[in-house]
Structure 1
Amino acid sequence: MAGLELLPDVPLFPLRTVLFPGGQLALRIFEPRYLDMVRECTRQDSGFGVCLILQGREAGAPAVPAAVGTIARITDFHTGDDGLLAIVVEGGARFRAVRTRARSDGLLRGSVILWPPDPPQQIPVEFALLQSIAERLVETMAPHFRHAPRSMYDDAAWVGCRLAELLPLDVEEQQRMLELTDPLQRLAELRDVLPRFQKS
């Protein structure tokens, strides 16, 4: 795996959700360890890793995270009506954590290897239905993508990520979609699960 970038010390935020490259996630921050993490990332203009929780909970004792996650960069933050810090993050590169450790305050940190982005790949005609479904889902569920260039709907990786985050998949299924490295395989598996969501 020569040429892959190693980040030796990245804060990790285990969640019961999966963040995809290019995706958006709104979070409310209240635990001191994560408030400190947000301050650190803002000060250093750096990101943190979002990983699916395999065991444990989002609050309290450190949870066991999935090894593959996504670097999140803070794009907006404000104080909510409840007085809590609210942030919006955008998904960047995927990574695999090769080592994790918990600090005394419970914040997980890891050494992570960044994955290269999926190369741009034209969607084959047999997946044209998925392009249409992605457009409908974005229109109704993801207004922040409404101004995406039309060319994005021709890119297998982008459409696959949008479908994986917007279709009502289990988080374990979403994690599998995140870990796939072939955009066309991701589209094929998403096509195969579509019948579950069709109204009878």
Structure 2
Amino acid sequence: MTNFIPIFPLGIVVYPGETLNLHIFEPRYKQLITECSRTGRPFGIPVVINQKVAELGMLVKLTEICKRYTNGEMDIRTEGIEVFRILETVKEIPEKLYSGAIVTYPENITGSGIPGIMGKLIAGIRELHRLLDVQKDFPKPDDQLNSYDVAHHAGLTLEEEYEMLTLLAEVQRQEYLKRHLARVLPVLSAMGTLKERVKLNGHFKNLSSFDLDR
């Protein structure tokens, strides 16, 4: 299916099912959100990387206007619906301040992926958090999580998060996260060991000597 959608380019990656809170302050996006609130139409958030609008983005729906300010600014809550691919950007729309795009929606295979892999990914991400000494909660119970739910918790860069957005099968996304964790966890573990060794420097140490006569 191909259609026209208003767009709100941002330097973030949004995934299907993700809740995103935004503060709306620019006149063009105040107009966009006001219209979406009135009509119930969704809008697109294409990813901006290195000051360029990328090919893929996320169609989102407005779920709540949490607060309206006297100057017209708004705090809103949105939810990701599905991945879109931009076919053509429409920079000027008659009587509108915002831009739009003609998009198509590629087939995206969801589901549970490879049995057992998700549990290993969750455990790996929790180990990542332990090594980094951070506290983060997943948005759902463990048995309901998919790759999209945990991607923002895995320490990916913006470019890596976008690369995962381009993967349109759950099995591929799980494998991507698996490889990412396989790269970073050993490095962080080694850094933790180094940190402990640095802490020992300057302190009295109770160590066994090496017997040269052994």
Global fold match (TM > 0.5):
yes
Given residue 168 of structure 2, which amino acid in structure 1 is its aligned partner? Answer: T
Aligned equivalents of 2:70 and 2:171: distance in 1? Answer: 43
Please identify the structure whose Cα radius of gyration is greater: 2
Q: Quote how far apart the aligned CAs of 1:112 are.
A: 0.8
Q: Quote how far apart the aligned CAs of 1:149 are.
A: 5.7
> Relative to structure 1, is the Cα distance of residues 32 and 130 closer, same or farther in structure 2, using a 3 angstrom cutoff?
same
Q: Which has the higher contact order (CA 8 A, sep 6+)?
A: 1
Aligned equivalents of 1:164 and 1:91: distance in 2? Answer: 14
Q: Quote how far apart the aligned CAs of 1:141 are.
A: 3.1
Aligned equivalents of 2:89 and 2:43: distance in 1? Answer: 13
**1:152 aligned residue:** 144
- Equivalent position to 2:5, from 6, 10, 26: 10
Contact 1:69 1:94 in 2 (8 A): yes
Aligned equivalents of 1:67 and 1:126: distance in 2? Answer: 29
Aligned: 1:130 with 2:104: no
**1:25 aligned residue:** 20
> Relative to structure 1, is the Cα distance of residues 89 and 133 closer, same or farther in structure 2, using a 3 angstrom cutoff?
farther
- Equivalent position to 1:87, from 76, 82, 91: 76
Structure 1 residue ranges (4+ consecutive) displaced by more than 4 angstroms after TM superposition: 80-83, 133-137
Aligned equivalents of 2:68 and 2:39: distance in 1? Answer: 24
> Relative to structure 1, is the Cα distance of residues 161 and 177 closer, same or farther in structure 2, using a 3 angstrom cutoff?
same
Aligned equivalents of 1:86 and 1:130: distance in 2? Answer: 33
SS at match of 1:27: strand
> Relative to structure 1, is the Cα distance of residues 124 and 82 closer, same or farther in structure 2, using a 3 angstrom cutoff?
farther
| Structure 2 residue ranges without an equivalent (≥5) | 130-134, 192-214
**Structure 1 vs Structure 2: percent identity of aligned residues?**
25
TM-score (norm 2): 0.72
Aligned length: 179
Q: Quote how far apart the aligned CAs of 1:94 are.
A: 0.5
Aligned equivalents of 1:12 and 1:131: distance in 2? Answer: 33
**1:66 aligned residue:** 54
TM-score (norm 1): 0.77
Given residue 6 of structure 2, which amino acid in structure 1 is its aligned partner? Answer: P
| Structure 1 residue ranges without an equivalent (≥5) | 57-63
Q: Quote how far apart the aligned CAs of 1:166 are.
A: 2.1
**1:162 aligned residue:** 149
